[in-house]
């Protein structure tokens, strides 16, 4: 593993020490690795959420133009927005 040398501010150093105490990290390297990994996962999760949002908006726009037959429908053929809401929230935390 490569080594990184960082010049940090006193405020960063103090925040890192608080993090280490609160989360029980044995050393600064372990703390920094863990936090960077968590941040990367959070960004990936946000990107997934943005992608799902864009797909959902495309489906809604298509339904307004009559081009989205995949939307859930009621017995009279109208879009079932409650079912659609439940579908897009499925699997979300």
pLDDT of residue 82: 82
Kindly report the backbone phi and psi dihedral angles of residue 75, in degrees, each rounded to the nearest multiple of 5, phi listed first.
-60, -30
Cα separation, 54 vs 50, in Å, equals 6
pLDDT tens per residue, the chain (93 residues)? 688 888 999 999 999 999 999 999 999 999 999 999 999 988 888 888 787 777 777 777 666 665 656 777 778 877 777 887 777 767 665
Q: Is 73 helix (H, G, I), strand (E, B) or coil?
A: strand
State the alpha helices, DSSP H only, in the chain: 10-23, 28-64, 81-89
Any idea where the domains of the chain sit in the sequence?
Answer: 10-67
Q: How many Cβ atoms from other residues are within 10 Å of residue 92's Cβ?
A: 8
């Amino acid at each position: 593993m490569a080594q990184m040398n960082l010049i940090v501010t006193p405020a960063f150093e103090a925040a890192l020490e608080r993090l280490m105490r609160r989360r029980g990290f044995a050393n600064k390297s372990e703390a920094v690795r863990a936090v960077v990994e968590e941040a990367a996962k959070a960004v990936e999760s946000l990107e997934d959420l943005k992608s799902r949002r864009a797909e959902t908006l495309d489906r809604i726009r298509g339904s307004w133009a009559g081009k989205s037959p995949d939307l859930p429908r009621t017995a009279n053929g109208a879009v079932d927005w409650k079912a659609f809401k439940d579908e897009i929230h499925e699997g979300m935390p």
